[in-house]
Chain A
Amino acid sequence: MKKALATFLAAALLAGSASAADKLVIKGSDTLGAKLVPLVAEAFKAQNPEVAFEIAAEGSTTGIAAITDGTANIGMASRRAKPTEVSAALAKGVSMKPTIVAYDGMAAIVNEANPVSQLTLRQVEQIFTGDITDWSAVGGNAGSFSIYTRNTSSGTYSDWKELAMKKRDYAGSSQKMAGNEQIAAEVANNPNGIGYVGLAYINVPGIRVVAIVGKDGKAVLPNDETVQAKTYPYARPTFFYTNGEPHGLTAQFVEFMLGAEGQSIAKKIGFVPVAKQ
């Protein structure tokens, strides 16, 4: 009887581990998780039908925390892990390993009716920090800025703060949105709206991308060339974080993401592929 019970328990454990091995839990960035990763997962699943995916796109912070907590195989992040996050992970024996999966340009967007077509780096900083409050200060029609930002768990929120705002605080009047799509929708509906979205979200009707005038005086729009050449000032890599070097199914999926099909999907929806190295 005891032997039969042991055999049953072992079989149940094996079944459970086999089931876990065929499931990939991916959490984190909305920038990656809203479109890109689900599409890549779908393509991967087409070749590996036994694999199940659980994808939650609630911000880069949640993805990095999930790797630390061991509740995800892959943490999607549109920003680098902060030293304090790496420290917290190390304390739990987790070693954060970043893999660049695509590049993104954070585009400054305005309502399509807005006459402003370009902004300097300084003007962008002034707008989002609240140093200036009216469109007339940057050559637009009179009217207060309606600033739309991501929420604080978003990697885009912190990347924008770092790259566009010299790490200063957002204006108190800014409104926090859950995702890129919400920002694009709000800006499309508000003639005084301004926000930022990833390249994958710039084709929403009713919005227009503003060129950024760099220190050299040249106006640059975000696209494959300017992001890859890093001439666009708000370009950034996006990451898959894993606990150490990925292995097993996780490694297979990361390789697939970096492969021709994964990168093709990334390009198709607006990301800039990782150059072959």
Chain B
Amino acid sequence: MRKLPLALLALCGGIALTTATAVAQDSAALVELLVKKGLINDQEAEDVRAELIKENASTPAGKLSLGSHVTEFKLGGDVRVRHQYDATTSQGAGTSLHRNRERFRFRFNGDAKLAGGWGAGFALETANAADSGNQTLENGNADYNIYLARAYVSWQANENLSLVGGKFKNPFQTTDLVWDGDINPQGLSETYDFRISEGSLQLRAGQFVMDDNDERKGSGPSYRDSFLFAQQLVYTNKLSNGVSVTVAPGYMFYNNASITGNNNETAFDGRTKGLSIATFSGSVKFPNVGANTLSLYWDSSYNFDADTRVHDIYGLSDSYGDGATAWLVGLGYAKGKGKDQGDWSVKLDYRRIGIGALDPNLSDSDFAFGHMNQQGIKLGGSYNVTSFASIGLTYFYTWDVQKSLKHAVAGLDKSSILQLDLVTKF
């Protein structure tokens, strides 16, 4: 039988030294080309292919089998190591409480594109708080649990409409004023792309399950499931001078039901009554400002039922000022997109949160530890030491909007948090 020529063996060896993926994707075309050029015949090409497959099969990647309906499968994640300093002063306490914590966060996610416009994915992470993946280092050299942060099925019904069900990434254009960036909503989400000629216009909607209650045990808010219904229009346009503008008006409301067993960092267990919130967020990005990108961003909310919320749920009958409104305005300045060595960014925002303006279970858990009735700043910066690793610093300083509001969601006088981070992506 024919022996493999030395040149072909060298070719096999050379190709096999590349990654398994590269072998799978590139060698077929290369072998075909060699056949077309008449440098090798079909049988020799088969021998090369067989050798390459054997080489590939001996690698871990070569033992991985994906169904033919999987058109793309991405695995990725990150590890963040953090030192955190906290200081809080409760209303009327006078003195601050200080705390230092060493924390870490691990995230691992997989997203598959499937045939026919289908998709599916998952994300695993440390800590079961909905609004944080941080695990504080504690208990000797304890090991820690991993939790399922996302598990979803998606379907691109046509070029306009896409649907997602399960527990998934937040589909809305937002900031951490309204939605903590760690929260993965659960339920259903729909995005309709209007395919306009200039820019992009999308209608996004979500029907999110906030809690499951047992209807068999009675009637009323404590026994009915809690839902959040949210919808938003998102318009984005890139102007001829490179400036891009995004504006996103939205509206969200809950049914009147109970949430118990909440595991947010600062959890609010209670009724979802009195939350009918209009939101308006957006950004303007100016490229090439001193060779970098300057961005102006904002977010705001107005709760039409703030009075009901504050009186009936928080039990406050005193004057509480403008508790129906929350807003944020910020500036960012960045070199690159945080993907290359030497990229950096800085951000500064000011925000003010009225006591009845937001759902305390959704807003950022770091700003005033998730409390309402607070105003203050968030200052952050990061620097990429490599394309995949960065160091970061974030500082929050907040103080109360109105004093003497005696409820857990509003009982903070002032707070500060300093976070020093080292993040690596994989």
Contacts and interface: CB of A to CB of B under 8 A. Distances in A.
Interface in B44-70: 46-47, 49-50, 53-54, 56-58, 62-63, 65, 68-69
B67 to A, nearest CB: 10
A83 B43 contact: no
Contacts of A100: 42-43, 46
B62 A83 contact: yes
A246 B57 contact: no
Contacts, number: 58
B1 A245 contact: yes
A164 B62 CA distance: 25
Contact of B69 (A86, A99, A169, A245): A169
A188 interface: no
B227 to A, nearest CB: 35
A167 B116 CA distance: 12
A99 B43 contact: yes
Given A169-B69, A245-B1, A87 B62 contact: yes
B1 A254 contact: yes
B115 interface: yes
B54 A86 contact: yes
A277 B54 contact: no
Which bucket holds chain A's interface residue count?
20 to 34
A97 B1 CA distance: 11
Contacts of A169: 68-69, 115-116
Contact of A86 (B41, B42, B57, B115): B57
Nearest to B61: A83
Given A84-B63, A237-B46, A245-B1, A95 B54 contact: yes
B3 to A, nearest CB: 8
B53 A86 contact: yes
A254 B1 CA distance: 9
A99 B63 CA distance: 24
B46 A90 contact: no
B54 A90 contact: yes
Contact of B56 (A80, A83, A274): A83
Given A83-B56, A83-B62, A167 B43 contact: no
A273 interface: no
B88 to A, nearest CB: 56
Contact of A98 (B41, B46, B58): B46
Interface in B94-137: 115-116
A194 interface: no
A80 B69 CA distance: 19
Contacts of B53: 81, 83, 86, 96
A83 B24 CA distance: 10
Contacts of B49: 80, 98
A251 interface: yes
B65 A97 contact: no
Contacts of B58: 87, 90
- The residue among B42, B47, B56 with the most chain A CB atoms within 10 A of its own CB is B42
Contacts of A274: 42-43
B57 A83 contact: yes
Nearest to A237: B42
Contacts of B56: 83
B43 A277 contact: yes
A33 to B, nearest CB: 20
A263 to B, nearest CB: 13
B68 A161 contact: yes
A87 B53 CA distance: 8
Contacts of A80: 46, 49
A239 interface: yes
Given A83-B53, A90-B54, 8 more contacts: A80-B46, A80-B49, A83-B24, A84-B63, A87-B58, A96-B54, A99-B43, A169-B68
5 contacts: A83-B62, A84-B57, A96-B54, A169-B69, A251-B1
Top 6 A-B pairs ranked by shortest CB distance?
A: A87-B57, A277-B41, A86-B57, A84-B65, A86-B53, A98-B46
